[in-house]
Amino acid sequence: MRSILILNGPNLNLLGTRQPEVYGRETLEMAEAACVAHARAQGLEAVCLQSNHEGVLLDAIHAARGTHSGIILNAGAHTHTSIALMDALFSVEIPAVEVHLSNIHAREEFRHRSFISRAVIGQICGFGTQGYLFAIDALAKHFEREAEPE
């Protein structure tokens, strides 16, 4: 069974209570449970990790090589600042999808720039926690296309 790593960055541990008008009322635990169930329905295993520390996220991306077939990353504020996370994604050569709960392109200008987007197969934003499920579907479809004979 293919495995995907779902990484959540800074402040996402506060989902459900932090600015619910922007990020919704669903907790991270609720979103992770939905991801695990949705992945299972797609024939995938989902492993979830959240950290407020960039280095922990980097280590998780590095460790994903040879363990996970795909990565879903909501890097939070690191999206707009971390060249290191972008480099890590390029380095491990694992298909990744960038997820944001809010539409980062409709928010403050500094949120419009994503360093992560250069290293992923796609970006999903603005759909709340449903975006994670869309990302799982996107990776499942990507894996199907990879498996098709040329």
Which residues are registered as beta bridge partners of 100?
Answer: 125
69 appears as a binding residue in the annotation:
no
85 annotated ligand-binding residue? no
**Is 59 one of the annotated binding-site residues?**
no
Active-site annotation holder among 23, 38, 78, 132: 23
Q: Choosing from 38, 100, 132, 142, which is the catalytic residue?
A: 100
- The answer to whether the CB of 124 falls within 8 A of the CB of 131 is yes
Assess whether 23 carries a catalytic annotation: yes
Coil, strand, or helix at residue 23? helix
Determine if residue 74 is labeled as part of a ligand binding site. yes
Q: Among this protein's residues, is 100 annotated catalytic?
A: yes
On whether 18 is known to bind a ligand per the annotation, the reply is no
Whole-number Å distance between alpha carbons of 36 and 58: 22
- How many CA within 13 A on the CB side of residue 113? 7
Which residues are part of the catalytic machinery? 23, 100
Which parts are annotated binding residues for substrate? 74, 80, 87, 101-102, 111
